[in-house]
């Protein structure tokens, strides 16, 4: 049998790496808390429509990268019962006697027989099921026989009613059964339309969905929410790019009356991100931002861009020629050196912003200047998700290779309405946690976290006493690694040196006297410590 491995693009996070993950997440929680954000946890999968409408049908994410599946269809037993009853409206005296469920045999109707030639009495046992198994037939047969004790005149029949498309072979086979069980295929629509579900490729749409669903806007207050969780995109795995990847994100969203459109919100979010990265100790990040225009500005700009590209695209690289057709904004992103002079001549979004957008962006920049957050304006910065409007930004970092975006985000003033909610402008970001960890790891080689002490029982007889001592110290809040009395002393020292800062020897002498031998690995210094002072000595 081939060995099972983590599937493509997914991975396991193990110690000591997980220590780093926890540190990053803890720092995010601390920093966000200072800005008065609260945590939201949304489901890992959502209705596919949420992403189609929110992220945009034409985006790469939605059109080719989502993990989407049809949820199992639901069987509509009620519809099937109706179909069965209406097959012959006079068949039953009273429909109120008919009780059905999807999986139980619970229908008994008594009346003079009409279906069969000479029965005195007919008992129908009806089982409505989406599919039918041999087991059902056997069960029903047993019941039929229980209902026909000695009376040979009594004709009792069990009916198994199934949707005609299902179990066709079984149905026809059993139809000829002489055993008082008849399988009745009924045609009709008995399977409720199933639902298309999708593993979330990003989390903003889910947050906005929750905002709408719980009418958070009705509070009249700005909602400030953050999340930490896995996202899923079916892309080719690469460094810093996985099919299950982690994001830490936050959203500021609310009705316009709560100030959700204010440029100070944009600046505050950006300032918070700068603080977060600084507190983590990430050096060398760059904030790049741009205004991609409002819902009114963008179409005008794209039209102008297409117009300009008609002449210029043929002189550009093959990718750009394709992008000029499919997604003209992406041409601005091109990294081919020869194309750069041409790109410089293309229309700039800044020239197509209306007065509001222009003023909004200027105010964001002024606020950043005021609080000393450094940034670069890149008029060519574009984003891959349809919902972004006006302020769009990235924090980039060298040393991430092709995936140099550490985090990205922007304003999404029309998202709520796009998915059927009230007007609720917002701004948010998503941090690529995997990439953040990569840059942190590149910056500092990670030290294994050493335990405060390694307890070495000398001889197996000391094992239980050592466990007791370990319990005592652990309860005092110390990080303790417990050895094994079967180890030779040399091995205890070697193992202890790898795992802990100090070693505590527990042999017969120590146990008798209550004075423990403690040796510090770094200094080589050995001391005798009374048991009651041990915890404070180790701290």
Partner RNA sequence: GCGGCUAUAGUUCAGCGGCAGAACGCCUGACUGUGGCUCAGGAUGUCGUGGGUUCGAUCCCCACUAGCCGCCCCA
Minimum distance, C-beta of residue 201 to RNA, in the bound complex (Å) = 8
For position 401 contacting RNA by CB under 7 A, the verdict is yes
Tell me which stretch binds RNA (CB under 7 A): 71-79, 234-242, 268-276, 417-425: 234-242
For position 25 contacting RNA by CB under 7 A, the verdict is no
For position 259 contacting RNA by CB under 7 A, the verdict is no
Minimum distance, C-beta of residue 520 to RNA, in the bound complex (Å) = 7
As to burial, measured by CB atoms within 10 angstroms (0-12 exposed, 13-18 middle, 19+ buried), residue 132 is buried
Minimum distance, C-beta of residue 231 to RNA, in the bound complex (Å) = 7
Contact set for RNA, span 186-215 (CB under 7 A): 202
Residue with tokens 């450094």: 374
For position 273 contacting RNA by CB under 7 A, the verdict is no
The region, left, alpha or beta by phi > 0 then psi within -120 to 50, assigned to residue 220 is left
Among residues 312, 497, 529, 531, the one that binds RNA under rule CB under 7 A: 497
Minimum distance, C-beta of residue 63 to RNA, in the bound complex (Å) = 10
Binding footprint of RNA, residue count (CB under 7 A) = 68
Strands 196-199 and 68-70: antiparallel
Would you say 126 or 430 has its CB closer to RNA? 430
For position 110 contacting RNA by CB under 7 A, the verdict is no
Contact set for RNA, span 130-159 (CB under 7 A): none
**Does residue 170 contact residue 129 with C-beta atoms inside 8 Å?**
no
Strands 426-432 and 244-253: antiparallel
For position 493 contacting RNA by CB under 7 A, the verdict is yes
CA distance 409 to 469: 52
Bond prior to 310 in cis (omega within 30° of 0): no
For position 47 contacting RNA by CB under 7 A, the verdict is no
SS in 3 state form for 292-361? CCCCCHHHHHHHHHHHHHHHHHHHCCHHHHHHHHHCHHHHHHCCCHHHHHHHHHCCCHHHHCCHHHHHHH
Side-by-side strand order, sheet with 107-111: 107-111, 122-128, 155-163, 181-186
Would you say 246 or 361 has its CB closer to RNA? 246
CA distance 354 to 519: 72
Minimum distance, C-beta of residue 436 to RNA, in the bound complex (Å) = 9
**Binding residues for RNA (CB under 7 A):** 2, 5, 7-9, 11, 59-61, 65, 202, 233-242, 245, 247, 319, 323, 327, 330, 333-335, 383-385, 394, 401-409, 430-432, 434-435, 458, 488-491, 493-494, 497-498, 505, 507-510, 517, 519, 521-522, 524, 526
């Amino acid at each position: 049998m081939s060995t099972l491995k983590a599937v493509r693009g997914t991975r396991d996070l193990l110690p000591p790496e997980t220590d780093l993950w926890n540190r990053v997440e803890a720092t995010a929680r601390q920093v966000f808390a200072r800005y008065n954000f609260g945590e939201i946890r949304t489901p890992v999968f959502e209705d596919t429509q949420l992403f189609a409408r929110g992220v945009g049908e034409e985006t790469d994410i939605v059109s080719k990268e989502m993990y989407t599946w049809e949820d199992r269809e639901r069987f509509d037993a009620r519809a099937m019962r109706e179909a069965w009853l209406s097959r012959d409206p006079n068949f039953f005296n009273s429909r109120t006697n008919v009780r059905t469920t999807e999986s139980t045999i619970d229908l008994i109707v008594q009346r003079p027989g009409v279906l069969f030639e000479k029965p005195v009495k007919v008992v129908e046992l009806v089982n409505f099921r989406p599919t039918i198994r041999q087991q059902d037939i056997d069960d029903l047969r047993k019941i039929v026989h229980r209902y026909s004790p000695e009376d040979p005149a009594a004709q009792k029949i069990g009916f198994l009613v199934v949707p005609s498309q299902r179990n066709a072979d079984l149905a026809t086979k059993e139809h000829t059964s002489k055993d008082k069980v008849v399988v009745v295929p009924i045609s009709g629509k008995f399977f409720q339309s199933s639902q298309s579900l999708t593993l979330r490729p990003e989390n903003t749409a889910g947050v906005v969905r929750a905002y709408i669903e719980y009418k958070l806007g009705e509070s009249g207050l700005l909602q400030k929410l953050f999340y930490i969780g896995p996202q899923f995109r079916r892309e080719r795995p690469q460094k810093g790019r996985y099919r299950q990847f982690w994001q830490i994100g936050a959203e500021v969203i609310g009705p316009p009356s709560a100030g959700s459109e204010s440029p100070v919100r944009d600046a505050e979010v950006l300032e918070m991100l700068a603080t977060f990265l600084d507190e983590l100790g990430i050096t060398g990040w760059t904030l790049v931002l741009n205004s991609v225009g409002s819902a009114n500005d963008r179409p005008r700009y794209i039209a102008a861009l297409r117009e300009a590209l008609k002449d210029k695209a043929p002189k550009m690289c093959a990718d750009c020629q394709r992008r000029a057709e499919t997604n003209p904004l992406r041409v601005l992103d091109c990294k081919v050196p020869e194309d750069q002079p041409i790109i410089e001549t293309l229309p700039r979004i800044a020239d197509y912003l209306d007065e509001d957008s222009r003023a909004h962006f200027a105010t964001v920049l002024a606020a950043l200047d005021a609080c000393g957050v450094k940034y670069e304006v890149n008029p060519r910065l574009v984003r891959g998700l349809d919902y972004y409007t006006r302020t769009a930004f990235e924090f980039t970092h060298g040393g991430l290779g092709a995936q140099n975006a550490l985090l990205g985000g922007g304003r999404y003033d029309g998202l709520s309405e796009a998915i059927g909610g009230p007007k609720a402008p917002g701004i948010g970001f998503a941090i690529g946690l995997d990439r953040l960890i990569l840059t942190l790891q590149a910056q500092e080689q990670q030290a294994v976290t050493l335990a405060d002490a390694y307890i070495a029982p000398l001889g197996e007889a000391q094992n239980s006493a050592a466990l007791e001592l370990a319990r005592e110290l652990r309860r005092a809040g110390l990080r303790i690694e417990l050895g094994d009395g079967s180890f030779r002393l040399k091995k205890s020292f070697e193992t202890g040196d790898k795992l802990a800062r100090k070693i505590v020897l527990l042999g017969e002498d120590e146990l008798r006297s209550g004075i423990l031998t403690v040796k510090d690995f770094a200094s080589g210094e050995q001391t005798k410590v009374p048991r009651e002072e041990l915890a404070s000595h180790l701290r």
